[in-house]
């Protein structure tokens, strides 16, 4: 192995070390900002996240497997780095105008196929060269792959902290991305002092300023012919205010939060529930206060309202853009506006509510799904006064209930019935669910009488509307379709409801996506999870007995580490948002905790002068212990610091394992990027199966139990291969000519 360049005092040459740090700095921050933008333009559910992250890891792994044509001088990466910065800005622009390239209107939903296509192109433009830069940096450091891994992880952790604490709270995605790019250019110019490429770096710096300045104008151009009046990136999502004629709509990550005026929506979200009881005193409204829900609650004499919103920007933008008379109910003395996560507020409240109304988007993502789970419904029941009513609505259909829609509604209905004695479903374009421990009624005459007694004025809750919408035939048909459909209970750690919603979403578009998702939903866990595990055990046994060189012996644990780590990351993210509810705002910090662990582990690995198979055995045993701890910790409501510490620990073990395995592998191989590529490709496989299938269909406990078994197999493999020496390849025998 060549010696790393050092200065006259024996210290590492900055010009050789800085490129590896910059690689992690740019790769992590560019990935984070592109993921935030990708989720905003492709409606941000976990299937979409999986498509983007999977594509990123796949191309990064393939890029690191490509052998370099020649070795670059220390300053030679200045030009490639400036080009990757420009490619990052091109990716942001590509996402912003993606609907025009697809021939759709702004805000129009698209299927999985276009999302996959954009993810694949973006990852190829950025992640493939970034993966290859890992190999080039290893060459700059004399083939010291562990040192490059450490510096890259350190750069990634540094950029993650910068993005989370400084940029996300104060700037938009484009502004934050421009700031990161400008910082990278400055580091290249100051630290590397490149002899070539200065004009290109100056162009990248000028482009950073232009991107920050063009953020809002480009958004307005992208939304034409609709009128975008304001946009704001917050820790909770991308908010955009759209004005069409006299209507104002507020969108979060491309999904509508509300449109105003929308009296029909506000009335159905409130009155079906509140007309069930008399003498209302305390009502809780989670979401929907600014869209007219608060005004409808105040029509009931004596009713006080707690109105909870997670993002303060929602209230601020509503006050700024809604007519004064529509926002006025939120200033009424009977209304208390609370800026907090709705589930956290409910858990900390004393309860005693006569009605709890949920007015949030349907469970299209795991983040929103946490308001439609058995655990949340149990919390709601405990905070209702005797006879209290719980209500929410989800999109449905006026007449025909398709099998996909029936299964989605059946999941919510079964989850409610597992908690409440009485559950009713109101037919219509939106299905309104009502739940209580006391009897409920959908009798049109009884509801119309309650309207008259209470003096509730409404546009759409007339006796004629009620008799048509609540006709016994319509109610009975909806009820029978829901009860006949196969149903599963939706839970915090088994968020199956958002998978069924994904089938509904995919079914709107022509293609194979919906059929594939339906087929996968019918596969039992034993076949989907245990059969591959048995096959993996057979493959490990064959490789262990074959004893063919160091490749399988040292690279299979690296692939297992990548696969395990990414699955644990996904599990922690879903469990974190189920418990705390604001993973969009904390996802950067959670991933940074893992990257910091990689830096710590790889740094500790370099301290050891010699690497041995005993180190691999120790690390695999550590993974087993952490998986057991994770399964216990993620099933309980512990402190918020727990998930960060868990990811830090997994990252530390992963970084240490990579350094040890790389040192052992490079004793017999000259391919500097092979170990890194195997790590990323293992992560690619993990993120695809975790986000798309395992977590929503079979849940986090099933995932962690199989991961524990898989790592037990890996531990056995490392033990066996360390005891059995590798079989040497037979020398070729050349026959002498006669």
What is the DSSP code string of 156-220? HHHHHHHIIIIITTTS-HHHHHHHHHHHHHHHIIIII--SS-HHHHHHHHHHHHHHHHTHHHHHH
Give CA–CA dist 684/689, Å, rounded: 9
How far from the centroid of its chain's Cα atoms is residue 726's Cα?
A: 42
* Rounded Cα distance, 561 and 59, in Å: 18
Contact predicate 425/478, CB 8 Å: yes
Whether the CB-CB separation of 659 and 600 falls below 8 Å is answered with: no
Relative orientation angle of helices 699-723 and 613-633, to the nearest 10 degrees: 170
* Catalytic pick among 215, 354, 359, 492: 359
Order of strands across the sheet that contains 422-426: 335-339, 304-309, 282-286, 353-358, 384-395, 430-436, 422-426
Q: Pairing mode, if any, of strands 422-426 and 384-395?
A: unpaired
Whole-angstrom Cα distance, residue 691 to residue 698? 11
Q: What is the DSSP string of 430-458?
A: EEEEEEESS-----HHHHHHHHHHHT---
The answer to whether 530 is a known catalytic residue is no
Q: What does DSSP assign to residue 731?
A: P
Length of the chain: 738
- The span from the CA of 643 to the CA of 633, in Å, is 9
Cα 373 to chain centroid, rounded: 18
User: Distance of alpha carbon 469 from its chain centroid, rounded?
Assistant: 38
Q: What is the DSSP letter of 512?
A: S
Q: Could you tell me where the beta strands, DSSP code E, fall in 441-568?
A: none
Cis peptide bond upstream of 409, omega within 30 = no
Which residues are identified as catalytic? 359
């Amino acid at each position: 192995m060549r010696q790393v360049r050092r200065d006259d005092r024996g210290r590492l040459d900055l010009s050789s070390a800085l490129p590896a740090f910059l690689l992690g700095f740019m790769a992590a921050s560019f990935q984070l900002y592109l993921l935030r933008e990708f989720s905003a333009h492709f409606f941000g559910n976990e299937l979409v996240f999986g498509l983007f992250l999977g594509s990123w890891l796949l191309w990064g792994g393939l890029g690191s497997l490509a052998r370099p044509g020649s070795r670059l001088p220390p300053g030679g990466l200045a030009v490639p780095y400036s080009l990757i910065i420009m490619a990052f800005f091109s990716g942001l622009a590509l996402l912003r105008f993606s609907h025009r390239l697809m021939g759709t209107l702004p805000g129009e939903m698209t299927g999985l196929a276009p999302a996959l296509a954009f993810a694949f192109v973006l990852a190829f433009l950025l992640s493939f060269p970034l993966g290859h830069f890992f190999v080039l940096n290893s060459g700059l450091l004399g083939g010291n792959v562990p040192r490059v891994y450490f510096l890259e992880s350190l750069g990634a952790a540094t950029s993650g902290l910068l993005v989370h604490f400084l940029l996300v709270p104060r700037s938009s995605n484009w502004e934050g991305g421009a700031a990161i790019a400008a910082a990278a250019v400055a580091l290249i110019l100051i630290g590397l002092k490149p002899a070539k490429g200065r004009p290109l770096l100056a162009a990248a710096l000028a482009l950073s300023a232009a991107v920050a300045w063009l953020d809002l104008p480009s958004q307005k151009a992208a939304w034409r012919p609709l009128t975008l009046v304001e946009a704001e990136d917050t820790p909770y999502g991308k908010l955009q205010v759209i004005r069409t004629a006299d209507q104002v709509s507020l969108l979060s990550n491309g999904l509508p939060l509300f449109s105003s005026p929308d009296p029909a929506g506000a009335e159905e979200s409130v009155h079906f529930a509140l007309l069930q009881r008399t003498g209302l005193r305390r009502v809780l409204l989670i979401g929907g206060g600014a869209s007219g829900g608060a005004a409808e609650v105040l029509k009931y004499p004596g009713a006080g309202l707690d109105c909870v919103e997670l993002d303060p920007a929602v209230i601020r933008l509503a006050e700024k853009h809604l007519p004064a008379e529509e926002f006025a109910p939120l200033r009424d003395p009977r209304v208390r506006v609370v800026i907090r996560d709705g589930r956290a507020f409910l858990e900390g409240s004393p309860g005693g509510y006569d009605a709890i109304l949920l007015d949030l988007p349907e469970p299209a993502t795991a983040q929103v799904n946490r308001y439609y789970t058995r655990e949340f419904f149990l919390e709601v029941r405990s905070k209702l006064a005797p006879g209290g009513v719980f209500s929410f609505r989800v999109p449905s259909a006026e007449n025909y209930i398709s099998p996909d829609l029936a299964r989605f509604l059946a999941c919510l209905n079964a989850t409610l019935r597992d908690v409440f004695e009485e559950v009713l479903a109101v037919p219509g374009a939106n299905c309104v669910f009502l739940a209580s421990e006391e009897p409920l009624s959908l009798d049109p005459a009884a509801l119309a009488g309650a309207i008259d007694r209470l003096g509730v004025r409404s546009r759409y809750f007339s006796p004629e509307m009620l008799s048509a919408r609540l006709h016994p035939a319509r109610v009975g048909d909806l009820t029978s379709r829901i009860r006949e459909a196969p149903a599963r209970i939706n839970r915090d750690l088994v968020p199956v409801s958002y998978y069924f919603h994904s089938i509904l979403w995919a079914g709107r578009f022509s293609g194979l996506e919906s059929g594939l998702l339906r087929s996968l939903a019918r596969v039992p866990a034993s076949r989907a999870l245990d059969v591959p595990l048995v096959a993996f055990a057979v493959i490990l046994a064959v490789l262990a007995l074959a004893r063919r060189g160091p490749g399988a012996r040292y690279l299979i644990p690296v692939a297992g580490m990548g696969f395990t780590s990414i699955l644990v990351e996904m599990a922690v993210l879903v469990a974190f948002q189920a418990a705390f509810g604001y993973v969009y705002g904390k996802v950067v910090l959670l991933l940074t905790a893992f990257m910091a662990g990689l830096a710590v582990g790889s740094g500790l690995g370099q301290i050891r002068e010699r690497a041995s198979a005993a180190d691999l055995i120790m690390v695999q045993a550590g993974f087993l212990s952490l998986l057991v701890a994770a399964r216990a910790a993620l099933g309980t409501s512990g402190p918020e610091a727990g998930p960060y510490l868990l990811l830090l620990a997994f990252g530390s073990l992963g970084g240490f394992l990579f350094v040890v395995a790389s040192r052992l592998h490079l004793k017999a191989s000259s391919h500097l990027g092979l170990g890194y590529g195997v790590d990323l490709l293992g992560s690619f496989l993990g993120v695809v199966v975790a986000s798309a299938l395992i977590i929503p269909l079979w849940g986090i406990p099933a995932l962690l139990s199989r991961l524990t078994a898989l790592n037990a197999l890996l531990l056995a493999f490392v033990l066996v291969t360390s005891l059995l020496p590798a079989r040497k390849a037979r020398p070729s025998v050349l026959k002498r000519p006669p």
